[in-house]
Amino acid sequence: MAGARGPGDPGRRDRIAAAALEVALAQGVHAVSHRAVAAAAGVPLGSTTYHFRTLDDLLAAAMGRAAAAFAAELDAWDAALGDDAIMAGDCNAAPWSAAVRHLAAQGGMTVMPSVGPTWLWRRLPDTLRFAGLPIDQVFSKGGVTVRSMRKLAPAGSDHLPILVEFSVPAKKQQDDSKTATASASPKRPLAFAHQG
């Protein structure tokens, strides 16, 4: 059953775009069609073609929603960062890419110089494994000083581990009865605990 049309249903275009993104995320971009999106949005097929003449228009609206959601997540992440921060991870992008530059700018961080290829395509012969990509990045900001970075031996992943040695400035004299510890494991990210 169709809902209200025209001015009586001002959110229809947004619902269709949201449904297009849902279909793409659930079934893949190849599954996005006017018919599939109309069914997911609960609107007549003609509504999808009225608001989005071509499939490219429909996909652009879906990707626009995804980009807006990602930007909102970045804003929340940026708001949660302190003055001093370090972040490392698989960015699936080289340090010179627009994505890495955007992430660094969003957080007010500096991208550390690359340690070289960290992703090694396993199907390459050993003699050509140098032809990997530097897609694992380290970012820092504020008083965090990266002292050194180096690749370690393969550890069972298609990415080489990176050892980062860094320091943070002392904020104030701590009471001797209080201590701080830092720990990390493959299943748990770096965590700091203050004990008193």
Question: 110-151: per-residue pLDDT in tens?
Answer: 999 888 888 766 666 666 555 667 888 899 998 899 999 998
pTM value > 0.85: no
Q: Which of 1-10, 13-22, 98-107, 155-164 has the lowest mean pLDDT?
A: 1-10
Residues 2 and 44 sit within 8 Å (Cβ to Cβ): yes
Residues 115 and 150 sit within 8 Å (Cβ to Cβ): yes
Backbone angles phi, psi at 61, to 5 degrees: -65, -40
* Selection from 73-87, 156-170, 178-192 with the highest mean pLDDT: 156-170
Q: Answer yes or no: is pLDDT of 78 > 80.
A: no
Superfamily, domain 6-76: Tetracycline Repressor, domain 2 (1.10.357.10)
| Per-residue model confidence (pLDDT) at position 195 | 47
Q: Answer yes or no: is pLDDT of 81 > 80.
A: no
| Cα end-to-end distance, the chain, whole Å | 63
pLDDT band, very low/low/confident/very high, at 193 (cuts 50, 70, 90): very low
* Chain segment 164-191, per-residue pLDDT in tens: 999 988 876 656 555 555 555 555 555 4
What is the rounded CA–CA span in Å between residue 61 and residue 169? 45
Q: Answer yes or no: is pLDDT of 194 > 50.
A: no
Q: Who has greater pLDDT, 114 or 19?
A: 19
| Per-residue model confidence (pLDDT) at position 42 | 94
| Per-residue model confidence (pLDDT) at position 59 | 92
Domain extents in the chain: 6-76, 82-169
Backbone angles phi, psi at 163, to 5 degrees: -95, 120
